[in-house]
Chains A and B, each alone.
Chain A
Amino acid sequence: MNLLKRTSLRHTAELRVLEGFGRAVRAVCRYVAPRTVEELALTVQRARAEGLTIAFRGAGRSYGDAALNASGLVVDTTGIDRVTAWEPATGIIDAGPGVTIEGLWRRTIEDGYWPAVVPGTMHPTLAGCVSMNVHGKNNFRAGPFGDHVLDLDLLTPAGDIVRCSRDENPDVFFAVVGGLGLLGAITRVRLQLKPVESGRLRVEALSARNLDELFDRFEAHLPHGDYVVGWVDCFARAAELGRGIIHVANYLRAGEDPEAAVSLHVERQGLPPRILGFPRSALWRIMRLFTNDPGVALVNAVKFFTSRLQDGHTYLQSHVAFAFLLDYVPDWRLAYGPEGFIQYQIFVPHAEARACVRDVLELCRQENRCSYLGVLKRHRPDQFLLSHAVDGWSLALDFPVRAGQRADLWALTERLTERVLAAGGRFYFAKDAVLRPADVERAYGRDRLARFLAIKQRLDPDGVLANDLWSRALVQSG
């Protein structure tokens, strides 16, 4: 009678139906959430002994299947979230893998430091940001998240802790940053933060009537903008194709902000509790009413025409309010309905970017599947092994998934992928749900993948570390 007997992880780990952030992909996984690095090490050891594969999951903000593991174990590391050292004199922080971006800035802003690179939401964990090598609206200037990591500790499936940095085990360092959690568990990260003189940025909003104007104005502001980001109305057509808004933001220098000291207070960095008179927690339900083709087209048009009236408008905005646009509406992803959505982000070299972006927008229009959101950014290349960044531009697109039309949407992304690959482009694994091994091989090159796989083979010879992204898009590359 072994019903009441607790045995292996395989039997005792709870089952969870986990989703990607976009809700379009999900899986039944075994799930454990260790609270300490020792527990994490024990979990990895037990899983390895039992032949279970492991995927790591932080805040679950990857849009696709990077934090899912259908046939194995998902290890949630958000519980290991202690800041072990913070040096306000140098702006260097030492923290556990589960510390979030929010945890970072809340701890450091009153000392005058802000994370040098943040994604569009403050919820991702440090280990997640490192594993996906996330980027922000300042990628052209500040590079990706990994460029600000000084060193990190990696717990390998064999149970060793490997410290790596640009000087120590550099091959491991450049593979782990952007390594999709496939090389080991990140147990500690030492990060260099950026000193800021004020809690606010000077933001300028610019309107662009078409794609060429969008690119032109964007480029014109690159030399003197600390952050530049473009919003694209993907429903605009013909002569207005690619119309949008550009936001340029600059740090305020010492003396520029009379309220500098006050603006650095944590309380001054909050998001408004109510927007347009509604409590933020209820906003997604209102958004839900507009999350359809005519609704988005209308909202986009209103947004664009409002921007025409305010072209060149300059204002001061807190770091949080400027950086974490996605956090204004909690649970906004629910507005896409039960089937969720996929985000598809392409990276195209500078010379090809205009033509490719135009092509992509036009193709979506022809297929009557306009993206509900379009975000344009400028990128610079970096040294990381599986880096998505090219010297060029990225366009992020949100496509709703409708019941019964999944295959059509995936077919559209295949056609888009073909165009992006032809232009020498890449994709972003943090958001991906559609790529196939052949696409990845073309985007990253056989050599680069082979180097990554060789390091994986060395650190994880038994193939303990795997996630659904790996199984879908990478595994045949070996």
Chain B
Amino acid sequence: MSVEFAKAIVVGASSGIGEAIAVQLACGGADVAILGRRADELERIAVTLPGKLTPFVHDVADADAVPELFARIVEKLGGLDTLIYAAGTMPPIAEGEYSFPKDRDMIVVNLLGAMAWMNLAAAHFEAARRGTILGISSIAGERGRRGNPAYCTSKAALSTYLESLRNRCSRYGVNVVTVKPGFVDTAMTRGMPGLFWLVSANEAARQSIALARRGNSASGFVPPRWALVAGIVRALPSFVFRHLNF
């Protein structure tokens, strides 16, 4: 079953995979509402495909604004069949640093914002008996790495949340897709040491959309070869894992 996307919301569309997904969906004919904090960035993207990409300035930390904004966008688009949550943040955490404000921001942006949007979309799609929810999680959610506890936590939680949504809504025809990218060449990863199998945001977006288009509610790694790494990483016993430096 191949799913076509006609009316989509992309939260976190002002850069990275979110931007690439929004542009690719719009190029494929979809009307896309692009959401991000920075109006100028959204405008820069919107002018590339006038009429197909509609910018809405939104900070995902402002969960109270979500219901009205959601309703406004659905009205503007004349319906909705896809919600993509691509907002994410990963401030670097230094060796020896324990910062609650940074941790909190990561949970708010990476997880709570996703819940605020996906809850609404899930209800909307369950009632409509159709629709796609796509969340950009990460391979980082597979294990709790020493480098960035809150980021791993937020992505593990996001993956679990998406799995629950999938189990809850797929029986009503809702397509819930978890994308777990490996290293993607975006502003978030730029300059980080030790990157490999790096793909462009465009390529990650292309593969994510392809996974969602299959329409069979799935969870997948992007590119798929990261499934191998995830398998190994998950299999490592904790007493070994804690001695590794990533």
Binding site for B on A (CB under 8 A): 1-3, 5, 7, 10-11, 15-17, 26-28, 71
Contact A28–B127 (Cβ < 8 Å): yes
Instruction: Tell which of B41-49, B58-66, B228-236 binds the partner.
Output: B58-66
| Smallest beta-carbon distance B181→chain A, Å | 25
| Smallest beta-carbon distance B33→chain A, Å | 18
Mark each residue of chain B from 61 to 77: 1 if its CB lies under 8 Å from any CB of chain A, else 0: 11110011001000000
Chain B residues near A26 (CB, 8 Å)?
A: 127
The residue of chain A having its C-beta at the shortest distance from the C-beta of B108 within the complex is A3
Interface pairs A-B: 4 shortest CB-CB: A28-B123, A15-B123, A17-B126, A17-B127
B112 close to chain A: CB less than 8 A: yes
| Smallest beta-carbon distance B166→chain A, Å | 16
B238 close to chain A: CB less than 8 A: no
A10-B67, A11-B67 known; A3+B61 contact, CB < 8 A: yes
Contact A1–B108 (Cβ < 8 Å): yes
Q: A27 vs B108: C-alpha distance in the bound complex, in angstroms?
A: 29
Contact B108–A15 (Cβ < 8 Å): no
User: DSSP class of A's interface residues: helix, strand, loop or mixed?
Assistant: mixed
B145 close to chain A: CB less than 8 A: no
Chain B residues near A10 (CB, 8 Å)?
A: 67-68
Chain A residues near B57 (CB, 8 Å)?
A: none
- Could you say which of B64, B104, B124, B126 contacts A2, with CB atoms under 8 Å apart? B64
Contact A17–B123 (Cβ < 8 Å): yes
* Chain B stretch 75-134: residues in CB contact (< 8 A) with chain A: 104, 108, 112, 119-120, 123-124, 126-127
| Smallest beta-carbon distance A288→chain B, Å | 16
Chain A residues near B104 (CB, 8 Å)?
A: 1
Q: A71 vs B127: C-alpha distance in the bound complex, in angstroms?
A: 13
Binding site for A on B (CB under 8 A): 61-64, 67-68, 71, 104, 108, 112, 119-120, 123-124, 126-127
Q: A1 vs B60: C-alpha distance in the bound complex, in angstroms?
A: 10
Q: A71 vs B70: C-alpha distance in the bound complex, in angstroms?
A: 12
Q: A71 vs B104: C-alpha distance in the bound complex, in angstroms?
A: 33
Contact A27–B127 (Cβ < 8 Å): yes
The residue of chain B having its C-beta at the shortest distance from the C-beta of A26 within the complex is B127
Contact B63–A3 (Cβ < 8 Å): yes
- Subset of 23 A-B contacts with CB under 8 Å: A1-B61, A1-B104, A1-B108, A2-B62, A2-B63, A2-B64, A3-B61, A3-B63, A3-B108, A3-B112, A5-B64, A10-B68, A11-B67, A15-B120, A15-B123, A16-B123, A17-B126, A26-B127, A27-B127, A28-B120, A28-B124, A28-B127, A71-B71
Q: A16 vs B67: C-alpha distance in the bound complex, in angstroms?
A: 13
Beyond A1-B108, A2-B61, A17-B126, 15 additional contacts (C-beta under 8 Å) are A2-B62, A2-B64, A3-B61, A3-B63, A3-B108, A5-B64, A7-B64, A11-B64, A15-B119, A17-B123, A17-B127, A26-B127, A28-B123, A28-B126, A28-B127
The residue of chain A having its C-beta at the shortest distance from the C-beta of B63 within the complex is A3
Q: A28 vs B108: C-alpha distance in the bound complex, in angstroms?
A: 25
| Smallest beta-carbon distance A372→chain B, Å | 22
